[in-house]
Amino acid sequence: MRALTRARWATLPALLLALIGATAADAAPKPRNVLILPFATVDLTRDEHWIGEGVAQSLMLSLVHVPGLVQIERERIRALPQPEAWDEAAAVSAAKRLGADLALFGEVKRTGTDLIVQPRFVELHGDKVDRGALDTFAVADGQLLDRLRQLPAAYLKAMKAPASDVELARAQKWAAPTTVVRAFELYVRGRQASYRGTQDASEAAVEFLSRAIEADPQFVAAQYALGVVHQNLGNRWKAAAQFRASAQLDPTYAEPYKALGDLYLTAPRRLFEEAIKAYGKAIELRPFYAEAHVGLGDALAAKGEVDPAVAAYQKGLEYNPMNAKVHVSLGKIYYSEKGLYYESVTAYKKAIDLDPGYLDARMGLAEVYEDKGLYKEAIDEYRKVVDADPKNSGALYNLALVYEKVDPKEAMSLWERYIALAGSQPSEKDWVDVARLHLKKLKQQHGN
């Protein structure tokens, strides 16, 4: 299913070297990993429960503009036990499991016609947990977005997180990403649906986010979020249209440029130069955007620009040391481009330590083991991928290949399993044909 290749070496134009380079004066503050959780809404009506997630979404949209605060992806929470409400105990447990330095959570209650919001946070220093609570504030009917606009500044002050006047203004702007409360509610419900990760949930997210845009056509974050869901569904053209719409509405928003870079990089025609320009624009808008640096590294690596790619990855790690994807990218380039086995294995293992559920890291590590003839180690990693995701056809295919070298009988069983899984998928047709040839050969050699 994959091949380790050696790409050509080249140099990056001076403009891009200047882009990914950094001076001491530009050094970012030491990053802290932040887990933002939905606020508890225990005594609110069912129709109001979205408000707890809404506070979290407001914080997520706003604090991404503050350097030194690295948000842990919400999708990773799915792998954790889900409490009835994210109270302090649950927040601390989740923060420890996910390697967070800070966890933001709180409560939203109703008193008469007002909502009462109690923002809280915990800061972890090893086994020590420091607790913090901000002043409660009341939200009158129809005033939710106005009140949320002040929350980022209060959190930043309480957490002693430095932010310039410009960064603080951006955070306050994005804390209330629309002026229409109904549009914000639909956006929040769409984001909630998208986190579930299923086909049905993604289709529901498209419906909610489309309605959010109907309610407020200027809703930049909703345009971008809809593009992300379309991308996850494989609707590349619709995704690109939404990203461009988002960027046109607010040319200072970095996310759609990074997302367009991802689309260009994975396009059938592999539009490397366009991807590099898109990532570069995202970095220009937000120099500490770690994921954009990673995307730039991937685009450069795909072009064979090895050393500049490594520089871009290292820049991404400077801004987000917890980014498992960077370590996977480094693992690939260390082995396939530089032939550095130990450095590659170390990078993949670091990615797994940071995110045990990141299956691409285990796949990459297994491929290196397999290529070096360490079949037992390769089998262990491929098995972990298949156990975690039984429908991962790539891992199943590779596992069958490795077993051919150590246990032909088990290989036959795995080839049959792969063919049953992938036989109806048009994108797998060529690989299924190869699998059938392998199975036929093994049966001739070792019987049924």
Which tens digits make up the pLDDT trace of 360-386?
999 999 999 999 999 999 999 999 999
List, for residues 166-176, the tens digit of each pLDDT value: 999 999 999 99
Distance from C-alpha of 147 to C-alpha of 7, rounded to nearest angstrom = 53
Q: Which pLDDT score is estimated for 20? A: 39
How do residues 307-338 score in pLDDT, each as one tens digit? 999 999 999 999 998 889 899 999 999 998 88
Cβ-contact 393, 422 below 8 angstroms = yes
The bridge status of strand 114-125 relative to strand 102-111 is: antiparallel
Name the average pLDDT for the chain: 90
| β-pair partners for 124 | 129
Q: What is the mean pLDDT of residues 192-211?
A: 94
pLDDT band for 290, please (50, 70, 90 cuts). very high
The two tokens of residue 353 are 């330590």
pLDDT score recorded for residue 323: 86
pLDDT at 424: 86
pLDDT confidence tier of residue 263, bands split at 50, 70 and 90: very high
> Which pLDDT score, from 0 to 100, does residue 322 have?
84
With a cut of 70, say whether residue 56 has pLDDT above it. yes
Please state the rounded mean pLDDT for residues 96-108.
95
pLDDT tens by residue, 8-53: 333 333 334 334 344 333 444 689 999 999 999 988 999 999 999 9
The first and second tokens of residue 360, run together, are: 């691409």
Residues 6+ positions from 169 with CB-CB distance below 8 Å: none
d(C-alpha 313, C-alpha 316), whole Å: 5
pLDDT per position as a tens digit, 121-152: 999 998 899 999 999 999 999 899 999 999 99
pLDDT at 427: 81
Residues constituting the chain: 448
**pLDDT bracket for residue 448 (50, 70, 90):** low
Is 40:52 a contact under the CB 8 Å cutoff?
Answer: yes
> What pLDDT was estimated at residue 8?
31
Per residue, the 3-state secondary structure of the chain, as one string, reads CCCCCCCCCCCCCHHHHHHHCCCHHHCCCCCEEEEECCCECCCCCHHHCHHHHHHHHHHHHHHCCCCCEEECCHHHHHHCCCCCCCCHHHHHHHHHHHCCCEEEEEEEEEECCEEEEEEEEEEEECCEEEEEECCCEEECCCCHHHHHCCHHHHHHHHCCCCCCHHHHHHHHHHHCCCCCHHHHHHHHHHHHHHHCCCHHHHHHHHHHHHHHHHHCCCCHHHHHHHHHHHHHCCCHHHHHHHHHHHHHHCCCCCHHHHHHHHHHHHCCCCCHHHHHHHHHHHHHHCCCCHHHHHHHHHHHHHHCCHHHHHHHHHHHHHHCCCCHHHHHHHHHHHHHCCCCHHHHHHHHHHHHHHCCCCHHHHHHHHHHHHHCCCHHHHHHHHHHHHHHCCCCHHHHHHHHHHHHHHCHHHHHHHHHHHHHHHCCCHHHHHHHHHHHHHHHHHHHHHCC
Does pTM surpass 0.85?
no
